[in-house]
A and B are shown apart, each in its own frame.
Chain A
Amino acid sequence: MDKIIEKQSLIGKRVTKLDAPDKAVARTRYINDMVLPRMLFGKILRTDRVHAHIVSIDASAAEALPGVAAVITAKDTPGGKIGVLRDNPPLKTDTVRCIRDEIAAVAADSEEICDEAIRLIKVEYDDLPTVFDCTEALAAGAPIIHEDCPDNIAMEQNFEHGDMAAGEAASDYIVEGEYNVHYVAHCNMGVSCTLADYDTDGRVTIYTQTQYPFNVKMDIAPSLGVHPGDVRIIQPPVGGAFGSKLDVYPYEPICVFLAKKTRRPVKLIYSREEEFIASPTRQPVEFKIRAGMKKDGTLTFRDCDSLLNNGGYTSWGATTPYVTMRTMTSHYTVPNVKYRARAVYTNNPFAGSFRGYGNVQATWALETHMDKMAETIGMDPVAFRLKNANPPNEITPQGSNLGCIDLTGCIKQAAERSDFLNKWHENNKGWDSSERFRRGIGIATSLHNAGGAKIHKSDGCGTMLKMDDYARVTIITGGSEIGQGLDTVLAQLVSEELGVPMRDVTIINNDSALRPWDVGVHASRTTYIAGNSAIRVARKAREQILKAAASHTNMTHEMLDLRQGYVVQAESGLALMPLDKILRQMHFAGEDAELVMATDYYEPPSEPEDKDHMGDMSAAYSHAAHVAEIVVDTKLGAITVEKIWSAQDVGRVINPVGLEGQIEGGIAMGLGYALSEELKIVEGKVLNPSFRDYHVMTAPEMPEFDLTFIETGDAEGPAGAKGIAELPTIVIAPAIGNALYNATGVRIDHPPLTPEKVARAIAEKNGRL
């Protein structure tokens, strides 16, 4: 009997994550769980000063401790410095510049012996003058943090477009504001960990949590004094990353040097306290915004000047202005824009990259400012945003074509579904009421890259595919899995092309010696870039198979399709032969034998920014709008977030389970930024390095969610999808701040909106303080 197989699509279906079963039963072995034969443990001695000369280091007692295999100091790490500006020696030579500075390291048989050895190392310091504030660090006569940088300006970015003077002249109103955003920590559940292993020929294998494997090879090699080709990067499963693992940090080369010195594998793992003190933070920023508009709300100009506390060294935090700039110049249509950012060295800890990059900071400042502007001319926040919403295909001041965006749709959906305007007007009336609990509603939106970000010459990803005699597919991808669900998306996309079950697709993505190049997990790029490459490689394999199959029929390969493990006639769905059978026929065909193997390298149609910050750096852009409804306890200052409406342009939904997970988790992280999370750094020291004193959101604090996916169908994106992972974290915080104002008439420009701050601000407004 003839078998007819209809075309069934997996795109948009709820699909279980491929890695979930192993994680549920604890078969997954994380890097933190790894043990290698003859492995030693490594530990770092950090300074207790924030700015000092190192006078002497005496490690003799540590070296004599039984069980200690090696103690190293800067003299054992002769390679180059690391970091974006190569200003950070893995072990410090003569000066310490911030509290996390690495002085010496120990390798020993156990973590306990390491701890004991660390305690035995004696360091003498000569303290130097300190500076912690950006403005003070810029002043004449301020302590110089790096001798080769006498003005303490580590990095500076400037951009101007249009005619600022004309923009000002055309303005009926000008609104000014200052917004200081704070230090927060990634709080990956799996603390920082690395293992290093040397071979007899000077090649090193590094097991790492990196999100950036091929750049790590390049960035770490000079600090080790080895060729990048001799560095092999293996990425075991990790307990979260969220952008924290883009740069190389000193513990990684230190671990390699310990392995080199001992000729044994060394594992270096942080304690949670060390994780809080010694990991890169989100970049803190001081913003000044000046922006103008006409009476009808049309934006006329926007000027943003910002100072970034760069701490003692330059990591990726100093580069966040590249993303902040896009928001400040291009979010909403503004004809005249100016942006300046300076990253200033101080004796504080330094910042890295963190989900949302500089856009979490930018959106807090800009969307708070937009609400103030709307109020100035008596427009409601929805109408004001709609008035200035970027249209599709707008060319931004920096030369990006925004393409198939739908900011208007995002705003309207979020506002309509939440009944925003009715609630907003109602709440506004009650600021002077004596009710203790006040209700508020707020809206915010943002713009983000959604098709990668060409921050290097290439933003591409390579993929290799092979199929075996049983129609099992192996995909070796450059894209990295850090728990976000890449493997699942790739299996879904490949399964769709090849008509095989998802469980028959194996994804290999953790070894730089096997996988082709990719530029890492960042910029919400992985589904888009690695996804496109996976589709393309699968299509090559598909064509190879269908051509072979066609030779057994009187049809061309275009008339055939692959469905549910069969080669079928595309039009009728008639099953012609099982897929594994044709694969075996191809394989065992004597002189004509062929295996199904294919490769692809996908380079998105984007361009790097030029020196003037012009360039269409992403293959796609998208927006999200969040509405938050809160209840404020005006006496105690506690904010309860009751419900969040999110409307996000996702291009197209590939797997609702993964998409919802990213949005819900992203919002939770943004809620922490808005409400509770702050790494308290006073005079360069971290005061709250524990989950007891640093509060991340917990289950009872989560609000109800209403998620709307707007499907604009990106022509270039995989199945029409856009990158989605960062916008949820970016947008929510200012929606909460704007809701607080709606509830109480109190504005807090500097997050987090802790009960103490809120209660104080309300008391001040009511003349009680």
Chain B
Amino acid sequence: MAKDALLAFVVRLADDHLILGHRLSEWCGHAPMLEEDLAMPNMALDLIGQARALYQYAADIEGRGRTEDDFAYLRREREYTNCLMVERPNGDFAHTMLRQLTFAAFMEPMWRAMATSKDETLAGIAAKAVKEVAYHIRHAGEWVIRLGDGTEESSARMKQAVEDLAPYVDEVFDADDVTRAMVEAGIAPDPAALRQSFDRTMATIFAEAFLDMPTAPFAQRGGRDGRHGEAMGYLLADLQYMQRTFPGAVW
């Protein structure tokens, strides 16, 4: 039972990072400028690196001989338990940067707390990731400020992004049996407890960007139960294409 909860927790964390890493990598070759064309795949590399470490650990926990690739490429849509925020289509550059900032502002206190996790493997992954996510907050945060406090056009687009993303924020703070088991075992923090740190990071940046903190009229949920939006199927078709076409292909 405890093992099932740990496996579920590690997989959902890995899914968040894989899917967001994939979304970011879609920008490769399409960024508005060369420096950004390096920056986004660079962040994607961090996220996919973290996902790999987590999937490998999930495979070890499960102990059925699956590998990180089996988890990443060979599951069905309903078996992915990422939050809905990370699977949303990239939209424009403003939307992508706001989503990156939002996810990073959530993960930063999460990794920081997990660096002292009772689970040695997760503590090791977290100690490394917390340094990487700090860069993501700074980079995406600078863009949110620059665009929010920019031209009429950039400001309007950033405001639109805030409105579009708002319904997908609350889901990441939801507690369920899995998160409760992790808190009880001293493995991971209660996601609700991260809200204050998250709000503080976002409020600091939004104030500089002349953006209002969003109030979503409703929250979209379901990702943690494997219920995804339409965009997820297209994303997986792209992500899984090679392994589905050439099963077992290796480098």
Question: Are A and B part of the same complex?
Answer: no
Give B contacts to A, CB under 8 Å.
Answer: none
